[in-house]
């Protein structure tokens, strides 16, 4: 396998999670009687451009299908994050009725609804029919396509180049990062702005966030790798913000390479942080597998000890990261009998691989567990606030990454 950006041979695998099903391929009861797809799940790092990437086994069409079950609007904290971003970027760029905004991977309209409310013309690009339909119900125009250079050029030829292109947590889902960056270049007006948000590789390494590794994430980004990719597409990162979302993310602001805007001090600050953390040194990646196995074994010990002591444990959040964790740890319904989730699209289905049933949050009230394991640790505070009021003070909440921790 070669690097999907620079073509350099990939010779350094630093994480092997065995075989796993696609993390968002939730199962119906009928599916339990049929063979289930499993693919190798490994990470490589390119020692030329420092892009971290999964081994290629699956296609985007197989992963992001018409029944895609992830709806961004389920999380109240993510909706608040989107509202705050929309308000600040509208003011900063002086966006108005003569502006045009494109969001790539617009999902169910969680973000663009704010631009519609502000009467700013916008367009969502979203290939999954289930989420696109929800956005259209909010009055958001949606193109049900995958984004890339061809679509970017088509938009430009139709007079639809954007003042602002937004991509939140989509870059990692793109198998051809060069084609995606080419689309951004083609669809951006002169003087326009691109903002991309993505989990920061520094946090993945430092905090052993291996459960964020799954087939739908083709790549894992440092600023160093993003700058490589953007320079090749004649784009330039001129500002960077650090965010708390998804366990620690970057929001990069980019423009055409010839844009007159000067680089912000934040760009060099994040470059320095990545140099300090060794993101461009192979030694940084050599010990990661051991640290991952320690985290996995810690969860197993915790669940086995709870079972031996008669402590009832339930889980909250049928998130993709939870599927990676449970499948690598080999957790099945005997140790974790159910996972609650607020998304109706997941309720009544089963977790891929582990076949743990997904139920509505009301099941927690009925069963009254002693401990609730929150799988999407990035929204743990939101879950605790919601559920403690319902379940009472005696229920304890824990997360498992990078080790089991009581909240």
Indicate whether 116 belongs to any domain.
yes
Task: Give me the half-sphere count of Cα atoms (radius 13 Å) on the Cβ side of residue 115.
Answer: 33
Tell me if 268 is assigned to some domain: no
Q: What is the spatial distance between Cα 273 and Cα 260, in angstroms, rounded to a whole number?
A: 26
Do 252 and 200 reside in the same domain of the chain?
yes
Q: Judge if 297 and 351 occupy the same domain.
A: yes
User: Does 364 lie in the same domain as 395?
Assistant: yes
Strands (E), 292-392: 313-316, 339-340, 358-359, 371-374
- Do 51 and 81 lie in one domain? The reply is no
Looking at the structure of the chain, the number of domains it has is: 3
Phi (first) and psi of residue 154, to 5 degrees: -65, -40
Query: Which residues are within 8 A (CB) of 42 and not within 5 positions of it... i.e. 6 or more apart?
Result: 13, 15, 16, 17, 54, 55
Rounded CA gap, 128 and 115, in Å? 21
In a domain, 22, yes or no: yes
**CATH code of 152's domain:** 3.40.50.150
**115 in any annotated domain:** yes
Residue 174, pLDDT score: 92
| CA–CA distances in Å: residue 97 to residues 76, 101, 113, 139 | 28, 10, 15, 16
Whether 26 and 91 map to the same domain: the answer is: no
Same domain, 127 and 180: yes
- The tens place of each residue's pLDDT in the chain, 407 residues long, gives 899 999 999 999 999 999 999 888 899 999 999 999 999 999 999 999 999 999 876 555 554 444 555 666 667 888 999 999 999 999 999 999 999 999 999 998 999 999 999 999 999 999 888 889 998 999 999 999 999 999 999 999 999 999 999 999 999 999 999 999 999 999 999 999 999 999 999 999 999 999 999 988 899 999 999 999 999 999 999 999 999 988 899 999 999 999 999 999 999 999 999 999 999 999 999 999 999 999 999 999 999 999 999 999 999 999 999 999 999 999 999 999 999 999 888 999 999 999 999 999 999 989 999 999 999 998 899 899 989 888 988 999 999 999 999 99
**pLDDT attached to residue 67:** 52
Shared domain for 254 and 361, answered yes or no, is no
CA distance 139 to 340: 31
Phi, psi at 222, each rounded to 5°: -105, 165
Range of the domain at 296: 288-406
Q: Is 393 exposed, middle or buried (0-12, 13-18, 19+ CB in 10 A)?
A: exposed
Same domain, 356 and 324: yes
DSSP sequence for 226-292: HHHHHHHTTEEEEEEEEE-GGGSEEEEEEEETT--PPPPHHHHHHHHHHHHHTTTSGGGGTTHHHHH
- Residue 131 placed within a domain: yes
Tell me the longest C-alpha to C-alpha distance in the chain: 66
pLDDT of residue 94: 97
Do 98 and 186 fall within a single domain? yes
Residues 41 and 82 in one domain: no
pLDDT in tens, 258-306: 999 999 999 999 999 999 999 999 999 999 999 999 999 999 999 999 9
Are both 24 and 121 inside the same structural domain?
A: no
Specify if 219 maps to a domain: yes
Where is the domain boundary, 258, 279, 301?
Answer: 258
Which CATH number is 375's domain given? 3.40.50.720
Q: Are residues 366 and 229 in the same domain?
A: no
Confirm whether 314 is domain-assigned: yes
In this prediction, residue 75 carries a pLDDT of: 74
**In angstroms, what CA-CA distances link 216 with 45, 64, 184, 310?**
17, 8, 21, 37
> For residues 295 and 210, is the Cβ–Cβ distance under 8 A?
yes
């Amino acid at each position: 396998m070669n690097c999907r950006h620079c073509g350099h041979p990939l010779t350094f695998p630093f994480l092997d999670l065995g075989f796993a099903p696609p993390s968002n391929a939730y199962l119906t009861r009928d599916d339990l009687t049929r063979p289930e797809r499993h693919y190798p799940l490994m990470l490589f790092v390119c020692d030329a451009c420092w892009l971290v990437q999964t081994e290629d086994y699956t296609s985007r069409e197989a992963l992001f299908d018409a029944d895609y079950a992830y709806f961004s609007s389920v999380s109240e904290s993510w909706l608040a994050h989107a509202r705050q971003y929309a308000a600040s970027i509208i003011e900063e760029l002086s966006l108005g009725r003569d502006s045009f905004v494109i969001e790539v991977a617009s999902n169910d309209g969680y973000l663009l609804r704010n631009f519609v409310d502000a009467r700013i013309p916008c367009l969502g690009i979203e290939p999954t029919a289930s989420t696109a339909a929800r956005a259209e119900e909010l009055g958001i125009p949606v193109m049900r396509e995958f984004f890339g250079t061809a679509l970017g050029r088509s938009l430009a030829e139709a007079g639809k180049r954007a003042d602002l292109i937004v991509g939140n947590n989509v870059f990692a889902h793109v198998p051809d990062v060069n084609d995606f960056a080419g689309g951004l270049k083609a669809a951006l007006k002169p003087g326009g702005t691109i903002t991309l948000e993505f989990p920061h590789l520094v946090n993945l390494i430092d905090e052993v966030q291996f459960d964020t590794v799954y087939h739908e994430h083709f790549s894992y980004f440092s600023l160093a790798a993003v700058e490589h990719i953007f320079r090749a597409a004649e784009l330039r990162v001129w500002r960077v913000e650090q965010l708390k979302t998804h366990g620690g993310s970057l929001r990069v602001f980019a423009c055409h390479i010839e844009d007159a805007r000067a680089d912000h001090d934040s760009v060099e600050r994040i470059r320095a942080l990545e140099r300090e953390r060794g993101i461009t040194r192979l030694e940084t990646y050599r010990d990661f597998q051991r640290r991952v196995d320690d985290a996995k074994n810690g969860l197993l010990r915790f669940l086995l000890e709870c079972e031996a002591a008669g402590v009832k444990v339930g889980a909250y959040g049928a998130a993709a990261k939870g599927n990676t964790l449970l499948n690598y740890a080999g957790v099945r319904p005997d140790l974790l009998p159910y996972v609650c989730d607020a998304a109706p699209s997941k309720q009544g289905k089963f977790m891929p691989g582990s076949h743990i049933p997904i139920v509505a949050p009301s099941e927690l009230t009925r069963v009254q567990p002693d401990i609730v394991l929150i799988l999407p640790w990035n929204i743990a505070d939101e879950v605790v606030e919601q559920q403690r009021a319902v379940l009472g003070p005696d229920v304890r909440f824990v997360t498992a990454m990078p080790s089991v921790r009581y909240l």
